[in-house]
Structure 1
Amino acid sequence: MEIRNIAVIVNAGAVDPDLVALASELARRHHAALTGMAAAEPPLVVMGMDGGAVAASVYAEQHAEIEATLAASEQSFAAMVPPGIKHRWLQAVQRPEVATIGFARSVDLIVVGSSDQQAPLGQAIDVSAVLLGAGRPVLVSAHGARKLKATKILVAWKDTKEARRAVVDALPFLKVADDVAVVVVDEGNLAVERASMLDVVAWLQSHDVKAHGDVLPDIGGVSQTIVQAAQSAGADLIVSGAYGHNRLREWIFGGMTRELLATPGINRLFSN
Structure 2
Amino acid sequence: MTYVTIMVCLAFEQSNERCLAIAGEMVERFDARVAGVAAAEFSPPLYFTSGEQADKMIERGRNAIKTRLSELESEFRTAMNRSTKDVEWRSDMEIPLRFVAREARAADIIVIRQSGGGVLTDPFSVVNPSDLVMQAGRPLLVVPDEAGSFDLRSVLVAWKDTAEARRAIVDSLPLLRKAKDVTIAEIAEDGSREAALNRTDDVVAWLSRHNIAANALVPEENAHAGVALDRIASSIGADLVVAGAYGHSRLSEWILGGVTQHLMFESTRCVLLSR
| TM-score, length of structure 2 as denominator length | 0.89
Q: How far off its partner does 1:36 sit?
A: 1.2
Q: Which residue of 1 aligns with 2:239?
A: 236
1:100 aligns with 2:100: yes
Q: How far off its partner does 1:225 sit?
A: 0.6
With over 3 angstroms needed to count, the CA separation of the structure-2 counterparts of 1:140 and 1:7, relative to structure 1, is same
Letter in 2 for 1:63: R
Counterpart CA distance in 2 for 1:59 and 1:147 is: 43
CA-atom RMSD in angstroms: 2.4
1:251 aligns with 2:256: yes
Q: Which residue of 2 aligns with 1:189?
A: 192
Counterpart CA distance in 2 for 1:102 and 1:271 is: 17
Q: Which residue of 1 aligns with 2:273?
A: 270
Cα deviation digits, residues 65-116 of structure 1 (max 9, x gap): 1012101211122122244502111112122222110110000010012224
Q: Which residue of 2 aligns with 1:208?
A: 211
Uncovered stretches (5+) of structure 1, i.e. residues with no partner: none
Counterpart CA distance in 1 for 2:56 and 2:98 is: 24
| SS at structure 2 position matched to 1:165 | helix
Contact 1:45 1:59 in 2 (8 A): no
Letter in 2 for 1:263: E
| SS at structure 2 position matched to 1:35 | strand
Uncovered stretches (5+) of structure 2, i.e. residues with no partner: none
Q: Which residue of 1 aligns with 2:130?
A: 128
Q: How far off its partner does 1:264 sit?
A: 3.9
| SS at structure 1 position matched to 2:103 | helix
Contact 1:170 1:269 in 2 (8 A): yes
Q: How far off its partner does 1:177 sit?
A: 1.3
Letter in 2 for 1:16: N
Counterpart CA distance in 2 for 1:144 and 1:261 is: 13
Counterpart CA distance in 2 for 1:244 and 1:54 is: 44
Counterpart CA distance in 1 for 2:268 and 2:83 is: 30
| SS at structure 2 position matched to 1:159 | coil
| TM-score, length of structure 1 as denominator length | 0.90
More deviation, 133-142/50-59: 50-59
| SS at structure 2 position matched to 1:245 | strand
Q: Which residue of 2 aligns with 1:26?
A: 26
With over 3 angstroms needed to count, the CA separation of the structure-2 counterparts of 1:41 and 1:116, relative to structure 1, is farther
With over 3 angstroms needed to count, the CA separation of the structure-2 counterparts of 1:5 and 1:186, relative to structure 1, is same
| SS at structure 2 position matched to 1:249 | strand
Counterpart CA distance in 1 for 2:54 and 2:274 is: 40
With over 3 angstroms needed to count, the CA separation of the structure-2 counterparts of 1:144 and 1:189, relative to structure 1, is closer
5 Å-filtered alignment, 1:105-184, equals 105-116=105-116, 121=122, 122-145=124-147, 147-184=149-186
Q: Which residue of 2 aligns with 1:16?
A: 16
Counterpart CA distance in 2 for 1:14 and 1:47 is: 26
Cα deviation digits, residues 188-234 of structure 1 (max 9, x gap): 23333222211111101111111110212455411111111011011
| SS at structure 2 position matched to 1:154 | strand
With over 3 angstroms needed to count, the CA separation of the structure-2 counterparts of 1:106 and 1:218, relative to structure 1, is farther
| SS at structure 2 position matched to 1:209 | coil
